[in-house]
Amino acid sequence: MPGGAIMEPIRQQWIPQAVAGKSFIEVGGLWGVVNEQVTTAHAAGATSLTQIDPGGEDLWESFRQRCSAAQINDYKCIVGDINDPALTAAVEPADVVHCSGVLYHCPHPLYTLQQLRRLTKQTLLLGCATIPERVANTAGELRLESGSALFVPATSPSQLSVLAHYMAEVGARHIPGIDQVLPDGWRVTDYGPWWWYFTPRFVESLLTLAGFRVRYMSPYWCSHATYYWASPN
């Protein structure tokens, strides 16, 4: 297994192993910018670098500054939405695609993974917040089957309370749709809220349906998320 038994931070183990001598695309790497992996891929010997994100100019400027600080001058910036069919029609696929912290913000996750499949020639590295089959804390208890998911707009107040406490364990608070009210309600064009909480096996099944074979899975973020190494079928 890539990275051996190392659980944290798993992407710093896997990205260098996947990208040396390969073309690299990152999808949705600008949130907070410090989590972008273009600079990691460059340091590992990627042959080409592309960032795809719908972010505003302030985020793109911060990204460019990080690339400049890492002495990276040759890279592509594509302002776009992975769920836009025109995007995958216009972008040349890469050997390795990295996408983390995106899937649970997408109302139609299977379609999002199909879009990622269209960009992926050899390897998809996918990081996604996940939830165990049993969560118990001071707010109560949640139980899910192995291949289950919670659709957050349909959850009850008691379920939301358990989820909020679960995420607070890793310092995640003020989550839109969980412990933060959405002023305009749930809108399918809004990628800000957390639409879903998946079990790890649910994401694995989505990847399979989208045309991938999951080679490796590893927990990270204190087991509040799962990282997937997948190859197109």
Residues 159-217: pLDDT tens digits? 999 999 999 999 999 999 999 999 999 999 999 999 999 999 999 999 999 999 999 99
Q: Do 144 and 210 reside in the same domain of the chain?
A: no
**Residue 177, phi-psi category: left (phi > 0), alpha (psi -120 to 50), beta (remainder):** left
Query: Which pTM was predicted?
Result: 0.94
Residue whose structure tokens are 């118990």:
136
Q: Do 116 and 27 reside in the same domain of the chain?
A: yes
- For 135-154, what is the mean pLDDT? 95
Q: Is 152 exposed, middle or buried (0-12, 13-18, 19+ CB in 10 A)?
A: buried
Q: Do 22 and 126 reside in the same domain of the chain?
A: yes
Q: How far apart are CA 128 and CA 103, in angstroms?
A: 6
Q: Do 79 and 138 reside in the same domain of the chain?
A: no
Segments forming the whole domain that contains residue 30: 10-130+199-232
Which of 31, 68, 73 has the alpha carbon at shortest distance from 52? 31
- The length of the chain is 233
79-124 confidence digits (pLDDT tens): 999 999 999 999 999 999 999 999 999 999 999 999 999 999 999 9
Q: Is position 159 within any domain?
A: yes
pLDDT at 9: 58
For residue 90, give both structure tokens. Answer: 């216009």
Residue 136: its H or E element: strand 134-137
Instruction: Write the DSSP string, 95-123.
Output: EEEEEES-GGG-SSHHHHHHHHHHHEEEE
Structural domains in the chain (count): 2
Q: Is position 1 within any domain?
A: no
For residue 18, give both structure tokens. Answer: 């996947």
